[in-house]
Amino acid sequence: MTTSTLFPPDIEAYRSRIDDALKSHTRFDDDCPEKLAEAIRYCLLAPGKRFRPLLVLVAAEMCGGSIEDAIPAACAVEMIHNYSLIHDDLPAMDDDELRRGRPTCHVAFDEATAVLAGDALIPMAFEVLVKQIQPANIAAQCVAALAYASGPSQLVGGQADDLGFQFAEADLDSLERIHRRKTGALISVSLKLGGLTAGASPEKLQSLTEYGKHLGLAFQIVDDLLDLEGSQAKMGKKTGKDAGLGKLTYPALIGKEQSQLRAAEMSQAAIAALEPFGDKAEPLRLLAQFVVDRNQ
């Protein structure tokens, strides 16, 4: 993702802080089987965009907090995201062979190891929050927020509904309801976690959450458009898959042009939610624009 000219200054420096911190969480004790450890490292340290952890860090700084205080939350959200990618790629779900430009976890290892690597990342995420976020009441709020966003009514529920959805029953409201949970919930909670680690007021947390909800939907609409016409080399995953599977997507439901308009509308709604932050919100405004302009 070439965001350096847009968002925020020194994005590569942020990414390398995130990658170093993630690496530090993949040193396991002797009781962790080597193959499982390898599979976790293979997935977690693979070259992703780090979009969600970047949101944590930018939101924290915008609320007057520090990268140092926010980085455990950034790692936790990337761990949850990573588990969801590993499980989504399994034959029982989306059955994908390519992720982040590499063979998916179950292809590189085996299915059981991929299930277990995904499983392991969930408690790892909550352990990082509990052990590394200070003070304890903020850690507890982070745990509650991330648990809800990744739980049965949000990430997992959205995925379950997506898997069971019949195209014949489709309408825009039900599609958006799925995507607000499957994609939007983790994006939105990333912003909230950043705010929490910075001690943001309830009003500011609410604005960040609103921004995240709209941004998440814009991100998903663009993801659908990129699946339709994006390049496999840039995306690092197989494209053109949704149409082949007759999957419910924005362009399939409302067409390409309306999808582009809807993404732009969501990006504007996200920007509007940032009003209480004034000029300080510039990086997040640029990011909302970047999300609709991205090509990977």
Residues binding ligand GRG (CB under 6 A): 48-49, 51, 84-85, 87-88, 100, 155-156, 159, 182-183, 220, 223
Comparison of 207 and 220: residue with beta carbon closer to ligand GRG: 220
Tokens standing for residue 161: 């509904």
How many Cα atoms sit within 13 Å of 172 on the Cβ side?
A: 8
Comparison of 48 and 195: residue with beta carbon closer to ligand GRG: 48
C-alpha angle 252-271-3 in degrees, rounded to nearest 5: 75
Minimum CB–partner distance for residue 226 and ligand GRG (Å): 9
Q: Which residue has the tokens 């939101």?
A: 59
Minimum CB–partner distance for residue 50 and ligand GRG (Å): 7
Largest CA distance in the chain: 54
Minimum CB–partner distance for residue 10 and ligand GRG (Å): 19
Comparison of 200 and 289: residue with beta carbon closer to ligand GRG: 289
Residue nearest to ligand GRG (CB): 48
Minimum CB–partner distance for residue 100 and ligand GRG (Å): 5
Q: By C-alpha distance, which of 103, 280, 110 is closest to 198?
A: 280
Contact 219, 280 (CB under 8 A): no
Minimum CB–partner distance for residue 223 and ligand GRG (Å): 4
Q: Which residues of 260-288 are buried (b: 16+ CB within 10 A; e: fewer)?
A: bebbbebbebbbebbeebeeebebbbbbb
Contact 53, 77 (CB under 8 A): yes
Q: Which residue has the tokens 């009781």?
A: 31
Comparison of 50 and 204: residue with beta carbon closer to ligand GRG: 50
Comparison of 43 and 128: residue with beta carbon closer to ligand GRG: 43
Minimum CB–partner distance for residue 51 and ligand GRG (Å): 4
Collapse the DSSP code of 94 into the 3-class scheme (helix H, G, I; strand E, B; otherwise coil) and give the result: coil
Comparison of 150 and 197: residue with beta carbon closer to ligand GRG: 150
Comparison of 126 and 277: residue with beta carbon closer to ligand GRG: 126
Minimum CB–partner distance for residue 135 and ligand GRG (Å): 30
Contact 39, 103 (CB under 8 A): no
